[in-house]
Structure 1
């Protein structure tokens, strides 16, 4: 995807969560370990819900913010949505799946922090700030939920 505006950033994020949800769901049906199968299903549902929330940003965000051009994007290399399925989640352990998903979310958070630090227009700073808060909150929630499931 060619990212040239903040609308593209929102769409990229939505597509990333959509792709990851589909990949995790597919791998859940193929995993042999019951706990990992549950984790993949849970993560798939979580990513699908995130996709819906991020899609709401496209509808509710200030058009001025969405249509603002990104000039510094080329110097940052965010994750590509297709990278998320290069690891065979169906063959990974519970802990490996968790680590992969946590790392992915940390990369998204890092990308938003990068953009937030280079955004000069208040509307775009607010948009990226909201997306950053969402991703940070959801990453914390994932860590908390997966740690709780380890205890079971």
Structure 2
């Protein structure tokens, strides 16, 4: 699918995605029975809520010129099937939670990587490279913390 959007549009959509994931994990946390899984889901909910706040702060530091830059890019739709296909219920395991999280985070990474494949101005490219780097670091942090919680 070819999209014509501003950099601001993409950042706003990413913030909305993180907010949705935060709510998604919170709702799951309210349903699970296993304490470790509940702790993991609560952590993931806070993690994504925090990322939405970080994106707000990041966006406020980006110039209007960059935010208002229009560009076209081709990107496949994010696969949200982990929201719907996973066996997410009260008896889910921490491994199942982590697998869903990794699948959903992959969507964001692919979006930023697709943006960087296009002929966009260097200043816009720097913004999306920064967002890509941030998401990669957050993915690693999430994996490490999930492992710590799982082995408690």
TM-score interval, normalised by the smaller of the two chains: 0.7 to 0.9
How much is the aligned-residue C-alpha RMSD, in angstroms?
2.0
Structure 1's unaligned 5+ residue stretches are none
TM-score by length of 1: 0.87
CA distance in 2 between partners of 1:20 and 1:50 (Å): 10
Aligned to 1:109: 109
* 1:63-113 Cα deviation digits (max 9, x unpaired): 1221111211xx312427x76642464443211110110121122112111
Asked if the contact 1:112–1:132 (Cα under 8 Å) also holds between the matched residues in 2, the reply is yes
Aligned to 2:33: 32
- Taking the TM superposition and a 5 Å limit, the aligned residue runs for 1:132-143 are 132-143=132-143
Aligned to 2:52: 51
Aligned to 1:7: 8
TM-score by length of 2: 0.87
Q: Give the match's secondary structure for 1:4.
A: strand
Asked if the contact 2:71–2:120 (Cα under 8 Å) also holds between the matched residues in 1, the reply is no
Runs of 4+ in 1 over 6 A off after TM superposition: none
CA distance in 2 between partners of 1:3 and 1:103 (Å): 25
Asked if the contact 1:3–1:9 (Cα under 8 Å) also holds between the matched residues in 2, the reply is no
CA distance in 2 between partners of 1:100 and 1:84 (Å): 6
Q: Identify if the C-alpha distance between structure 1 residues 45 and 3 changes in structure 2 by more than 3 Å, giving closer, same or farther.
A: farther
Q: Which moved more, 1:19-28 or 1:55-64?
A: 55-64
- Size of the aligned set, in residue pairs, is 148
Higher helix share: 1
Higher strand share: 2
Aligned to 1:67: 68
Structure 2's unaligned 5+ residue stretches are none
CA distance in 2 between partners of 1:27 and 1:147 (Å): 19
CA distance in 1 between partners of 2:97 and 2:136 (Å): 19
